Structure 1
Amino acid sequence: MSMRAILVNGGKGPVENLILGTAPRPTPAAHHVLVKVKSFGLNRMDIFQRMGKYPVPKHASEILGVEFSGTVAQTGTTASKWKEGDEVMGIAAGGAYAEYIAVPQTHVLPKPSQLSWNEAASVPEAWLTAFGALAVSCSIKRDEHVLVHTGASGVGVAANQLARFLGAKTVTTTASTDDKLAWLRRMPMAPTHTVNYKTADFAEEIARVTDGHGVDVLVDFVGKSHWEKNIASLAVDGRMVLLALLSGATVEKFSLQPFLYKRLRLEGSTLRARSEDYQTALIERFAREVLPEISGVDGPGKLKAYIHATYPWAQIQDATRELEANQNIGKVVAEIDSTSLPV
């Protein structure tokens, strides 16, 4: 049995290689569920994977996409947690750019009624990554100082809100434009301080904001260009989690002395490559502690799911260009509209 899916013509290449085609419809394993996808979120890793520059897990589908919302269409023989018709959202190692996706039953969550299908699809990857970075990798504590880079990205928007929600004393975030920072300051659960890293020294701002203490928790996606200022910004016993390497991976000639004398801790983390057990535990904790508080912009939740733009999936090239332009604040989402597509 086949389904429609977004494919990469030739296996990799430019955005023009993204096409709407057909692929085999997955069959759920015993502990999996098959979800009929309503909407899926776009992520920067999808771009890197399409270009052949992302290490895809061995068990991952060649179809792009790691987050989705939809309804349970079929359950595996031992997947008793869900039933056909349940409204869900979830993460996957790949395969979300498609009409159907099969995932472990532990990797879907109930879609809250206060979230639309598009909003629900925008949550899993960004919010689970941010929650894992703050609560698991950095063990954030109440009244600590936090620094979040790329604050207007999907993960950045989530991390800023979560840091406030989890009791941070100050949350400083960086972005590349004043417009992005102004937008972030308007969030109900906004960062307490913002810095345009292109026009100001964020390490100097951290020293001012924290009265010289430094930040206890630092979430970075940038790597090379921010390295020295990151180390300078960290407090004694500071923890930094590295989620990406947008400016490069090689830092030449840096001193290990601050790691010793400030007792610093550095951890790298990529959610997609984590074990199924780690992901399951993270999802369960997130579902208990955070998910009930997330709603759309006009909803009742303390935490908000922000969507920058929504596209019909037939316009996947345009949706991807929107993400590649790096002007988005919040998530880019694609929705599957079967009535507008040829069979």
Structure 2
Amino acid sequence: MRAVVAARPGGLDALQLVEVPDPVPGPGEVLVRVRATAVNRADILQRLGHYPPPPGASDVLGLEAAGRIEALGPGVDGWTVGDRVMALLAGGGYAELVAVPQGQLMPVPEDMDWVIAASIPEAYVTAWQALNQDPVPGSGSWVLVHAGASGVGLAALDIARALGARTIGTTRSPGKAGELADLADRALVPGPEGFRDAVLTITGGHGADVVMDLVGGAYWADTVAATAVDGRIALIGLLGGPRAELDLAALMGRRLTVRASTLRARPPEQKAALVASFAAWASTRLADGTLRPRVHDLLPLSRVADAHRMVQDNRTVGKIVLVVTDDGLVDR
């Protein structure tokens, strides 16, 4: 099969589209013929050598995919050959075939095309694991999402809106602010003065009940100051760096909860539980259009370097999807 690998840690020229052996589904796994996959920032970090696959994961890039089940491994139940599925992966998505633990599959609604389906698993399950914790945002609450124009950021805004929350998205790019304003209740471009005062003004002095932080270090002091009393900060990214000064008195005084999390390295049983929880909540909302995944652009797998360049240069609002089929077309 054709697959994309990073021959060595490095730049775009490290990406190679090569022939590799077809994967064989093991016990509890299914083999999926991939129609489309999507690019995540984690793929960029892996290519650069900063985010290696967890033990046992494929060296082929790609953390999500959509396609049809081609074969079943021993012990699989609840799925049949030909089922339309989207998959959360530890690796292997940039390929014509991928073996997936059955618990990391979700059905693709009949009216949904492969492009949209491929853009969902990694971003939406990542956002879901951060938002679906106590306190879960609901009607009247405020959710602040940093890097709101990213794939995960947009998924978080989409989920928060579906939960009934009011949303604020931040972006470092003034060029993205207009599009972000169409997707969040309010969009902010933090300047030298930060964003604390703006968030407090928008929320009437209350602050954000839940913050989904993909930035970390550079924003940390303002993030704490902009969070409501008894609020929660979900740290899931470090775009602004891994280090920050921690004011423990501010955390105590506001009774804040901080929880940091990653998704890729979780064991399969935890991923299966997250996928099942998200699918149970999201399936009807995806089918009826309540949830609206956003795709920025669509490229053939052969242009994977162009896709990585666009994500690396922060030129996207939403996901870049790679079409894996030979003819470059995606059908249902």
Q: Fold match, TM over 0.5?
A: yes
Normalised by the shorter chain, which TM-score bucket?
A: over 0.9
Give the letter aligned to residue 2 of structure 2: R
For residues 138 and 312 of structure 1, the distance between their equivalents in structure 2, rounded to whole angstroms, comes to 41
Residues 239-278 of structure 1: pairs in structure 2 closer than 5 A: 239-252=232-245, 254-278=246-270
How many residue pairs get aligned? The number is 328
For residues 271 and 332 of structure 1, the distance between their equivalents in structure 2, rounded to whole angstroms, comes to 20
Q: Secondary structure at the match of 1:271?
A: coil
Deviation at 1:308, TM superposition (A): 0.5
Question: Bigger shift: 48-57 or 86-95?
Answer: 48-57
2:108 to 76, 86, 111: 111
Deviation at 1:137, TM superposition (A): 6.8
Q: Secondary structure at the match of 1:132?
A: helix
Give the equivalent residue in structure 1 for 2:124.
127
Residues 10-49 of structure 1: pairs in structure 2 closer than 5 A: 11-49=8-46
Give the letter aligned to residue 44 of structure 1: R
Give the equivalent residue in structure 2 for 1:202.
195
Taking structure 1 as reference, are residues 138 and 130 closer, same or farther at Cα in structure 2, changes over 3 Å only? farther
For residues 135 and 309 of structure 2, the distance between their equivalents in structure 1, rounded to whole angstroms, comes to 33
Give the equivalent residue in structure 2 for 1:288.
280
Residues 25-174 of structure 1: pairs in structure 2 closer than 5 A: 25-136=22-133, 139-168=136-165, 170-174=166-170
Give the equivalent residue in structure 2 for 1:320.
308
User: Structure 1: any 5+ residue segments left out of the alignment?
Assistant: none
Cα RMSD (Å) = 1.6
For residues 213 and 304 of structure 1, the distance between their equivalents in structure 2, rounded to whole angstroms, comes to 28
Q: Are 1:137 and 1:241, in contact at CA under 8 Å, matched by a contact in 2?
A: no
Percent identity between the two aligned chains: 38
For residues 47 and 291 of structure 1, the distance between their equivalents in structure 2, rounded to whole angstroms, comes to 29
Q: Are 1:59 and 1:93, in contact at CA under 8 Å, matched by a contact in 2?
A: no
Matched, 1:219 2:217: no
Give the equivalent residue in structure 1 for 2:177.
181
Q: Secondary structure at the match of 1:266?
A: strand
Q: Secondary structure at the match of 1:136?
A: coil
Deviation at 1:148, TM superposition (A): 0.5
* TM-score, length basis structure 2: 0.94
For residues 301 and 199 of structure 1, the distance between their equivalents in structure 2, rounded to whole angstroms, comes to 38
Q: Are 2:2 and 2:17, in contact at CA under 8 Å, matched by a contact in 1?
A: yes
Deviation at 1:197, TM superposition (A): 1.3
For residues 217 and 192 of structure 1, the distance between their equivalents in structure 2, rounded to whole angstroms, comes to 15
Q: Are 1:90 and 1:107, in contact at CA under 8 Å, matched by a contact in 2?
A: yes
User: Structure 2: any 5+ residue segments left out of the alignment?
Assistant: none
For residues 265 and 291 of structure 1, the distance between their equivalents in structure 2, rounded to whole angstroms, comes to 30
* TM-score, length basis structure 1: 0.92
Question: Bigger shift: 94-103 or 109-118?
Answer: 109-118
Deviation at 1:339, TM superposition (A): 4.2
Higher relative contact order (CA 8 A, sep 6+): 2
Question: Bigger shift: 197-206 or 75-84?
Answer: 197-206
Q: Secondary structure at the match of 2:205?
A: coil
For residues 122 and 269 of structure 2, the distance between their equivalents in structure 1, rounded to whole angstroms, comes to 16
Give the letter aligned to residue 178 of structure 2: A
For residues 227 and 308 of structure 2, the distance between their equivalents in structure 1, rounded to whole angstroms, comes to 35
Q: Secondary structure at the match of 1:293?
A: helix
Q: Are 2:144 and 2:169, in contact at CA under 8 Å, matched by a contact in 1?
A: yes
